[in-house]
Chains A and B, each alone.
Chain A
Amino acid sequence: MSAALLFWLAGSGLIGLSVYGLIVNPHPLCKLLALNLLGSGVFLLFGVIARRGASAGLGGDPVPQALVITGIVVAFSATAIAVALLLRLHTEAGEASIDEEDGQP
């Protein structure tokens, strides 16, 4: 079994795990963690695509590799904003929950 196929299967599994986490964990921090896991799974699959494209003496296609680097930075930016929102929400409301509040204020 080639490394590429193996890591494709791992990436698929990670995406599945993150989908499970997104559904069953109501806390926003858990959802954020699951989203990061989802992102890493998607990036890993892109890495497999890059590895499949190994040619001309390179171990992988550099274009997807560069895109993954940009993607990791973008995902980190999202995490930073989400954590700041979550902490402020925790300060304001006493707990960080994204469930609908009942009743009109």
Chain B
Amino acid sequence: MMPLQALAVTETTPGGSLLVLGIVMPAVALVALIGLGGRGARAIVIAALLFQLYVAVRVALLVAGTQSPLAYVVGGFHPPLGITLRADGISALMMVVSAAIFLAAAGFAWKDFAQPGGKPEARAPLIFWSAMLAMASALNLLFTSSDLFNLYVGIELLTFAAIPVTAIKGGADTLRAALRYLLFAVFGSMLYLFGIVLLYGAYGTLDISGIAAQLQPNAATLAAAGFVTVGLLAKTALFPFHLWLPPAHAGAPAAGSAVLSALVVKGSLFLLMRLWFDTFPTLREPADMQLLALSGALAVIVGSVTALRQQRLKLLVAYSTVAQIGYMFFVFSLAPKGTGEAIAATAWTGAWLQVVAHAFAKAGMFLAAGLAAEVLGHDRIRDLGGLSRRAPLAVLAFALSGLSLMGLPPSGGFNAKFMLLVAALAGGQWVWGAVIIAGGVLAGAYVFGVLARMMAEPAAGASLQAVGRGRQWIALGLSAVAVLMGLLPLEPVAFLAIGRAL
């Protein structure tokens, strides 16, 4: 048991400036992109994203090497006056995952969003690349900031970057989906902001560790926790706030959908986990946590059943995101305060494996779905026949991702769900265990349903376009990471506990 003071940032650690660079360098690239009017747009983006990966890997190595978090005091002003950044094990993990998936998505979108030769600048490339850079910056901020208001600006930035990606195609349906997404997100952030107002009123600071150190379970704090949680749930699209997600994620270009489903919903989820496990750990009353787990369970069941009933491939993949998000909420109930540390650590590792495995699997799956739509010219599930001939690697990517989503071994999804299941059974919470298994069976139904169609003969008269191997390999690479995570031993990962008061 680490003392609570371990959360506090006292001084900038060696390598702490990496955290600033992780947030600020994409912003520098964004400014360059807009200022230069499209000249060298892709070179700037790729340089920025490669640098992101370098920063993330350096941060992870430093955290692993010192077994302690990195920290940075921005401007030299300590809380409560100033803002600090802090990267513990989970921050470092998510920074690496995010940088890797951004690079893969950028590679996939490389040709689609090239500036047309001879023309000064086109709409789609500038919008798409700007939004990607802003999302990369905002996510790193969400993973590392220790200041609740700074985090508010971060979640808003993330939303404002996600909306143009959703709306970029410009049809009435995508515009409607984007508008609904935006209204939902703004409503969520207002609730979050009100929670912060209450916390500032009660504790006179916005610093996560500062609040954690003086936390009292009084009415104002409970109300604040409630508002913050509901606001973030709306942004994370947990059942029953999930309705905005599928059309928004399905309407974006494939590389955009991949990033939205794999990473953007995890931004607000990360904040939620940070708050309940680091800021309000003592407020985790079993009854409230069961409510979160119940919402998660309903998300798993409703999301999977709705996915099964979809007729469009991208919508099916998007509803599967609704279901997979649900699993992550079991951790709130399975790692309660005060139970045996072993169970809590198992559930904690299971939840983060689920976050990461889903990120890779879903990114791969959305890219595969995008390739399918390109080959066939549509994404109607019943007419997917012939895909396995034209784009065999994309079908393989879909299958491997499906393996992880179902939770069959060997895959990261299996490890994640198995550890959650073990924690559920060890804690006597067999209902959640049953939901985990049922969700896997339902995922199996929709994944195999799609795969069978993909393997079928092409429909008579269907004209199939060829797609390049390069992009198929990118999709396959992402799915393969999700599967290879299954080689990890089935035990708590110590790295995920670095710098935490668990």
Contact of B193 with A81 in the complex, beta carbons under 8 Å: no
Q: Could you pull out 30 A-B pairs where Cβ atoms are within 8 angstroms?
A: A22-B187, A28-B179, A31-B183, A35-B183, A38-B187, A38-B190, A42-B190, A42-B194, A42-B197, A45-B194, A45-B197, A49-B200, A67-B149, A71-B193, A75-B186, A77-B156, A78-B156, A78-B160, A78-B182, A82-B179, A85-B167, A88-B175, A92-B172, A92-B175, A93-B175, A93-B176, A98-B176, A98-B179, A98-B183, A101-B176
Contact of B183 with A28 in the complex, beta carbons under 8 Å: yes
A-B pairs with CB below 8 Å: how many? 87
Residues of A with Cβ closer than 8 Å to B?
A: 15, 22, 28, 31-32, 35, 38-39, 42, 45-46, 49, 52-53, 63-64, 67, 70-71, 74-75, 77-78, 81-82, 85-86, 88-89, 92-93, 96-98, 101, 104-105
Chain B: minimal CB distance from A66 (Å):
10
Q: A38-B187, A39-B190, A92-B171 are in contact. Are A77 and B179 (CB under 8 A)?
A: no
CB-based nearest B residue for A74 = B156
**B residues within 8 A CB of A45?**
194, 197
- Expressed in whole angstroms, the Cα–Cα distance for A86 and B81 within the complex equals 39
In this complex, the member of B149, B153, B172, B200 whose beta carbon has the largest number of chain A beta carbons within 10 angstroms is B172
Chain A: minimal CB distance from B151 (Å):
12
- Expressed in whole angstroms, the Cα–Cα distance for A74 and B311 within the complex equals 38
Contact of B153 with A70 in the complex, beta carbons under 8 Å: yes
From B170, B190, B197, contact of A92 by CB (8 A) = B170
- Expressed in whole angstroms, the Cα–Cα distance for A35 and B183 within the complex equals 8
Chain B: minimal CB distance from A63 (Å):
8
Q: A74-B153, A74-B156 are in contact. Are A89 and B186 (CB under 8 A)?
A: no
Top-10 shortest CB links A-B: A93-B172, A89-B175, A49-B201, A92-B172, A85-B179, A46-B197, A42-B194, A98-B180, A78-B186, A74-B156
Contact of A85 with B190 in the complex, beta carbons under 8 Å: no
**A residues within 8 A CB of B180?**
98
Contact of A81 with B160 in the complex, beta carbons under 8 Å: yes
Contact of A35 with B187 in the complex, beta carbons under 8 Å: yes
Q: Is B491 an interface residue (CB 8 A)?
A: no
CB-based nearest B residue for A22 = B187
Chain A: minimal CB distance from B438 (Å):
27
Q: A35-B187, A49-B201 are in contact. Are A42 and B156 (CB under 8 A)?
A: no
Chain B: minimal CB distance from A72 (Å):
11
CB-based nearest A residue for B202 = A49
Q: Is B312 an interface residue (CB 8 A)?
A: yes
Q: Is B11 an interface residue (CB 8 A)?
A: no
